[in-house]
Amino acid sequence: FRRLLQTPASADWQLQTAVAFDIDGVLVKGKQTLEAGRRALSILSGNNKHGKRIPFVLLTNGGGVSEAAKAADISSRLGVEIHASQIVLAHSPMQSLVHRYGSQHVLVVGGIKNRCAEIARSYGFTNVSTPNDLVAWKPSLWPFMRAPASDHLSQPVGRDFSEHPFAAVLVFHDSFDFGRDLQVVTDVLRSQDAAAGRPFVRRQTAPLFMSNEDLVFSNEYPLPRFGQGAYHVCLRAMWQALHAGTDAPQLEYSLFGKPHPVQYRYAEGLLDRIAGSVGGMTDFERLRRCRRIYAVGDNPAADIKGANAAGWTSVLVRTGVFAGPPGSNDAVNPAAAVVDHVEDAVNWIVETEA
Ligand code: G3P
Ligand code: MG
């Protein structure tokens, strides 16, 4: 492995180490950029006592934007050039669903306006509708819409949804209208086609894929905020209430997002490609055997649980969801190390790998 590190292309890279950073609560808190985040990425870019660059990716349960847009946003806020190929959003691994549903009519939920539909189309889904589209087509479907001027309404569509049943429901990001999206998704999952007004059936008529089950996350508000997981709880509770006393099965769904293995396999693929591009690696198996991946996060239920299960080394910071006192760790999902903020985390990693 030393041989590979001596090659000029990789001389300044330390490829047997890699870091996956969570974003919200670690590098930023909503619109607030954390100075420790800026310093942490600078350290990994070579400003450390070994002069080594350590490959890193950003592994977030956030989304609702493209990987390129997220990379540009974080680059400008943290002063380090980050590429789309270093970004894992909650919905990034949902690209694997294109081979099954790419040409079928899918409902994509979450985010502002129809931005998630545009992202889904950029992944290869060719027949995408959103709750906006359904309500624009039949406003009475959800009579509690905010004033038409609200910025997340789409333009009325010409499509007649009554003849277009949905093959799957994909929740890409947090809902910006819980009530509407609870109504629309429940309609779709209880009927062959939601908007036709045909009688509901007492079984789930389409698969449901959720991109992030975080009950809470950390932004600039001093206390954790509800995440996409809050929408899941409401959706499951409504399904149960609507089918109380019947033999209707529970709502079934497949989960993406941290702590689920699919997210970590996807991130490892990105790290393999980074190593290949900088180190001219041909021997990924050797790289994989000796590479140690660190995950820095603020949410024990997502970041630490997922990293521990993936065989990575987890580092918990106190700048987000976890608010334990100094010296404490999470009892349910203990991290390998607990530090005050992400700069401490990176310094601990550099020291550990020295
Ligand atoms: O919506 C984003 C939130 O659920 C968590 O984001 O970056 O802390 O994984 P992050
Ligand atoms: Mg976080």
- Are 339 and 345 in contact by the 8 Å Cβ rule? The answer is yes
**Considering only CA atoms, which residue is closest to atom 5 of ligand 1?**
61
Output 76-81 pairs: Cβ under 8 A, ≥24 positions apart.
77/28, 77/33, 78/27, 78/33, 78/37, 78/38, 78/41, 79/38, 79/41, 79/42, 80/38, 80/41, 80/42, 80/45
Q: Which ligand 1 atom sits nearest the alpha carbon of residue 22?
A: 7
Q: For position 162, what pLDDT does the model report?
A: 76
Cis-peptide into 199, omega within 30 deg: no
Decide whether any atom of ligand 1 lies within 6 Å of the 25 Cβ: yes
Q: CB–CB of 338/351 below 8 Å?
A: no
Distance 108 CA to ligand 2 centre (A): 23
Q: Is the CB of 217 under 6 A from ligand 1?
A: yes
Q: Is the CB of 24 under 6 A from ligand 1?
A: yes
- Looking at residue 311, its pLDDT comes to 96
Give the pLDDT score at 103. 97
Q: What is the pLDDT of residue 149?
A: 43
CA distance 254 to 41: 33
Determine the distance separating the centroid of ligand 2 and the alpha carbon of 260, expressed in angstroms.
15
Task: Give the model's pLDDT for residue 196.
Answer: 62
Q: How many CA atoms lie within 13 A of 272 on its CB side?
A: 13
* Dihedral Cα 122, 25, 55, 315, nearest 10 deg: -130
In angstroms, the CA 271 to CA 30 distance is 26
Q: 3-state SS string over 77-112?
A: HHCCCCCHHHEECCCHHHHHHHHHHCCCCEEEECCC
| Interface pTM, i.e. ipTM | 0.98
CA dihedral 180, 184, 187, 188 (to 10 degrees): -170
pTM over 0.90: yes
CA distance 137 to 331: 49
Q: Kindly give the distance from the C-alpha atom of residue 164 to the centroid of ligand 1, in angstroms, as a whole number.
A: 33
Render pLDDT for 117-128 as a digit per residue (tens, 0 to 9): 999 999 999 999
Rounded to an integer, what distance in angstroms lies between the CA atom of residue 145 and that of residue 177? 9
Report residues of the chain scoring pLDDT below 70: 1-11, 146-158, 192-197, 280-287, 289
- Residue 30 has a pLDDT of 95
Whether 123 contacts 95, CB under 8 Å: yes
Q: Is the CB of 229 under 6 A from ligand 1?
A: no
Give the model's pLDDT for residue 342: 98
Percent pLDDT > 70 in the chain is: 88
Calculate how far, in angstroms, residue 340's C-alpha sits from the geometric centre of ligand 1.
19
| pLDDT tens string 147-178 | 554 444 555 556 778 778 899 999 999 999 99
